[in-house]
Structure 1
Amino acid sequence: KGWHTFNKTTIGSAWQVKDDALMLDASQKENWQTKGGGDIVSDEAYDNFHLKLEWKVATNGNSGIILFIKEDPKYKYAWETGPEMQVLDNAGHPDAKIIKHRAGDLYDLISCSKETVKPAGEWNQVEIISKDGLIEFYLNGEKVVSTTFWNDDWKKLIAGSKFKSMPDFGKFPKGHIGLQDHGDNVWFRNIKIRKL
């Protein structure tokens, strides 16, 4: 309740509620994602908000929390418009060797100021605050990213990233919040979104 698959009205069967957590059962693969999975997004769109949640991933797991998503049939994936806080098993996933691709990073744009992630299978606490363009990421109680979206510096960051070929990436100051299906088991719980 409160979520649907990106660009659809319902949610896929691979997303399940188990032990008070929203879990992606990625046992059945479909390319790099999950059969019956796909990214899920909040029913509501947000601009100024305070998001709190906890996540854990399987060994070698990869997922993400995607922000300011625009739904439109012309976009195949949520990350074509939405910047992402990376969710990752830093110890096991090869992406962790890339600065800006580790847990807590603003994916491919800004790396964490410090590494505060817990190992695979352990719960991590996240807070994301968006207030008038200032975006702050907290991972396990520590502020790890603080930056301003939608100004000239933001445009330069995107121009130097893998998203430079996506004309609408990071462009929308109001959008849906998404949880990513990257083909790995991931759990989310205690998800609370408050408008500011």
Structure 2
Amino acid sequence: MKTIVLSTLAALVMLGCKNNAKQTEEKTSMATNKETTSLEWETLFDGTSFDNWKVYNGGEVVEPWSIEEGAMVFNPPTERPEGATYNLISKNKYTNFVLSMEWRIAEGGNSGIFWGIHESKDFFAPYQTGPEIQVLDNERHPDSKNGLNRHAGALYDMVEPSEDVTKPVGEWNSCTIKIDHVNNIGEVTLNGTVIVSFAVDGSAWDDMVANSKFATWEDFGAYPDGHIGVQDHGDGVAYRNIKIAKL
């Protein structure tokens, strides 16, 4: 009888912990939803034009980017001129903001969403200055085997997602990225769940960078006022319903 009672109590405690965790997650998600609905949004991509975008260190958006069914779509070129990259950045810069979009990755694909990008001929790609939120096929892309901080939704090579809430390849994922230098908080919400939180300044940020592949990159994360970007990683990817609100 004593064993049965103890087992029952243990089960109740475990159930209580799970319920508390679920309630905390739901409250966090509700708070995030409440915040985002009260913001004043600026459309970055409305599904009809690339007016708010340009090629990094280049001009207007060109193929292999195109607009298909209301989405900006990257179809990998069969032939690529030597040294050519097609990373896109916003024409405007942003410091404190909430960025909202949907993304869809091709099978085995890899891409990323950047902020704090500094455009200069001194750099050949956005990732040299801009931190990245990973866009990935977790099941098939080999980078996912290099650690959870390489999975979709991760602050790339620094903070892993708390759980995998990605939808199957071919389906759209809803993503919200909050960058707030005033309150020193960064946050990633994927498909309604807050999966990543991190400091964006100070010693906590410096420690994360020091323990990542970017440790010796002097200009990485050094530009709080920078461009938003989406990555040409050589794989098929699509983005849509892109909007941003200043905090």
Q: TM-score, normalised by structure 1?
A: 0.94
Q: Is the 8 A contact 2:179 2:200 kept in 1?
A: no
Q: Structure 2: how far apart are the matches of 1:138 and 1:68?
A: 19
1:35-50 equivalent positions in 2, closer than 5 A: 38-50=86-98
Equivalent of residue 13 in structure 1, options 63, 75, 78: 63
Structure 1 residue 31: Cα displacement: 8.3
Q: Structure 1: how far apart are the matches of 2:106 and 2:75?
A: 10
Structure 1 residue 153: Cα displacement: 1.5
Q: 1:161 matched to which residue of 2?
A: 212
Q: Structure 1: how far apart are the matches of 2:223 and 2:62?
A: 26
Structure 1 residue 59: Cα displacement: 0.4
Q: 1:148 matched to which residue of 2?
A: 199
Structure 1 residue 5: Cα displacement: 0.6
SS of the aligned residue for 2:161 comes to: coil
Q: Is the 8 A contact 1:91 1:119 kept in 2?
A: no
Deviations 1:89-121 (A, max 9, x none): 011111111221010000001000111111211
Q: Which runs of 4+ in 1 moved over 2 A?
A: 27-33
1:1-196 equivalent positions in 2, closer than 5 A: 1-30=51-80, 38-99=86-147, 100-131=149-180, 132=182, 133-196=184-247
Give ranges in structure 2 of 5+ residues lacking alignment.
1-50
Letter in 2 for 1:22: M
CA RMSD of aligned residues (A): 1.6
Q: Structure 1: how far apart are the matches of 2:193 and 2:77?
A: 33
Q: Structure 2: how far apart are the matches of 1:80 and 1:21?
A: 26
Greater percentage in helix: 2
Letter in 2 for 1:158: V
Q: Structure 1: how far apart are the matches of 2:215 and 2:79?
A: 29
Q: Structure 2: how far apart are the matches of 1:70 and 1:157?
A: 20
SS of the aligned residue for 2:150 comes to: coil
SS of the aligned residue for 1:95 comes to: helix
Q: Is the 8 A contact 1:17 1:23 kept in 2?
A: yes
Deviations 1:140-188 (A, max 9, x none): 1000111111211211111111111211001111110000000001000
Q: Structure 1: how far apart are the matches of 2:59 and 2:117?
A: 15
* Larger of the two Rg values belongs to structure: 2
Q: Tell me the number of residue pairs that the alignment of Structure 1 and Structure 2 aligns.
A: 194
Cα 1:180–1:29 change in 2 (3 A) is: farther
Give ranges in structure 1 of 5+ residues lacking alignment.
none
Q: 2:14 matched to which residue of 1?
A: none
